[in-house]
Amino acid sequence: MLQDTTTGKSRYPLLFGVDTPSQLRDLELAELELLAIELRGFLIEVTSQTGGHLAPGLGAVELTIALHYVFNTPDDRVVWDIGHQAYPHKILTGRRDRLHSIRQHKGLSGFLKRSESEFDTFGAGHASTSISAALGMAVASGLQGKDNEVVAVIGDGALTGGMAFEALNNAGDLDANLLVILNDNEMSISPNVGAISNYLARILSGHAYTTVREGSKTVLGTLPPSVKNLARRWEEHMKGMVMPSTLFEELGFYYIGPIDGHDLDTVVTTLKNMKEMKGPRFLHVVTQKGKGFEPAEGDPCVFHGVTPFNPDTGKLEMKKKGRSYTNVFSDWLCDMAERDNQLVGITPAMREGSGLVQFSKQYPDRYFDVGIAEQHALTFAAGLSCEGLKPVVAIYSTFLQRAYDQLIHDISIQGLDVLLAIDRAGLVGADGATHAGVYDYSFLRCVPDLILMAPADEAECRNMLFTGYQYCGPTAVRYPRGNGPGIPEQSEMSLLPIGKADLWRSTTCKTNKVAILAFGTMAHPCGEVAEKIDATIVNMRFVKPLDESLILELSKNHDLIVTVEENVLLGGAGSGVNECLHKHGRTVDILNIGVPDEHLDHGSQSQQLADCGLDKESIEKQIMNRLSASVDNTVFTDPLTALGS
């Protein structure tokens, strides 16, 4: 629908004449308003067909245009935080005609990616990294004698991350030539946006004011320190009467704003003025998430990341039926909170994604969203546990990586009673490598005294959460994105014996006997493979502690042990089985199947599973190939050397 059905002409004539930012800079300032309208319409149209992140980009249209209009990108560096808001950036930097492939296999990444475009100066899928990266670039430019500009664009949600403030503190101290732009799309810092505020921003960023300001430094330099401090406090007081500048000024930044991020004339003028300044500068831009699309303006949370939808009505396509693991956790948390008033729920800014919406409504006093601050989330939970409460931390596997030190130092060493509910474990599909939860078996398995469970289905997930909650000490339950295989939960919850696997099926073969040890999500697919090839199948349930007695028993009467996990092979659950067999001096042929030692590209979850050899067909083929090789060569492998085979 890129053409008008009545006239047959392009509905985006101006946009389709802009293939690079250099062409954008050839436009007249007055033409930018029309470009913004076309860009917003194009983004809505394409995303309605493909799904993806919509509301953040809609809010950043004018800011994106202004940045590429004012700055000489890519020589001037623009570093976006995360990338949710960067779809307009992709469109204006030569990827417009490929936007329909976004988040699909071999298509555009949903985030910024250095290998995708020279305009993507820094790749990121986790929040709060932009200022640190931009500061590094600014310092490098200075050391190399370059004169290019470096700009960091950070959303207000990402500014809740401590890393952002660490970078601000460092940047102010270094007096780096850096511009930080706060894209405040939730009105969470200051609502004072309008004609007066925009006028003040123009004045304060203008040449006359900055000349006087810089000149005053020279004059004040000859005065006693007490007089200089008085003059500086007077300036801060006058600005503080109309704008929230004090915090950023104290960190060493020259603060401008807030300005209306949808007023292109104001944004362009302010950026031009600030480009002429040097040192640490901070521009506060207020935008509306979902701007220009009424359904997204009304519910920016729902339209943050969307499935395909009707662009006329905003109605989303129906998602596939079935219970998601996130919903299983959500129901369990509310049920458990009803039983135990010591339960508290914690999330690092992922209320919807981690399934805490209902809990936050039913138990608002026991619900804590700590912002994008995973380190704080775990140590906060540790403090709650010290005083006798029972914290449940709902966190994505990929984000738990950011709090590893806190898990070891603040929770594990002290033996505190904290339950980690780890969502998005395993392959996550369209979000790609930055969000892949394929390392948690490896980095959690080595934490002393931590109980680590992986459910095979929805029913087991509920019981594992209950088991982990009842256990006195640090525990973790890791479950995948999406729906389970359809095993309904029971309202009554059952305690699982710690460290005990579940033998689902024993082989009837007399020779070439295979035992498949499946972890978590791999149990049901491997169960089907086991039925087909007549193998023993075990749902391992526990990654730590392993059911060593069962492993050793199976090694006595099977010719091949196969471990299957949706985790990297290096240091994963299969490694644990290898170590167990080696420790007890058992020699048996072993095959480890899991995620290879490489970063996986984005695509559907099913495509990623196939690429890793974790779909049913690939698992069966690998087992049969190993059996064939063993029979032909009578090879039996020491399990410690089988890692990665």
95, 289, 424, 478: the active-site residue: 289
Sort strands 77-80 and 150-155 into parallel, antiparallel or unpaired: parallel
Residue 489 and residue 328 in contact, taking contact as beta carbons nearer than 8 Å: yes
Peptide bond before residue 545 is cis, with ω within 30 degrees of 0:
yes
φ, ψ (nearest 5 deg) of residue 536:
-75, 140
Contacting residues for 387 by C-beta, under 8 A, at least 6 apart: none
Residue 280 and residue 172 in contact, taking contact as beta carbons nearer than 8 Å: yes
Q: CA 151 to CA 72: how far, in whole Å?
A: 11
Query: Residue 449, CB half-sphere, CA atoms under 13 Å: how many?
Result: 15
b/e per residue, 401-427, with b = 16+ CB within 10 A? Answer: bbbbebbbebbbeeebbbbbbbbbbbb
228 counts as catalytic: no
96, 323, 390, 402: the active-site residue: 402
b/e per residue, 578-613, with b = 16+ CB within 10 A? Answer: bbbbbeeebebbbbbbbbeeeebebbebebbbebbb
> Cβ–Cβ contacts within 10 Å for residue 98, how many?
13
| Residue type for position 48 | S
Contacting residues for 419 by C-beta, under 8 A, at least 6 apart: 390, 391, 392, 393, 465, 468, 469, 475, 476, 477
Where residue 415 falls (left for φ over 0; alpha for ψ -120 to 50; beta otherwise) is left
289 counts as catalytic: yes
106 counts as catalytic: no
Q: How far is CA 83 from CA 112, 349, 529, in A?
A: 5, 17, 40
Residues in the chain, total: 645
Q: CA 62 to CA 88: how far, in whole Å?
A: 9
Contacting residues for 471 by C-beta, under 8 A, at least 6 apart: 451, 498
Looking up tokens 């395993």 gives: 426
38, 62, 374, 460: the active-site residue: 374
- List active site positions: 289, 374, 402
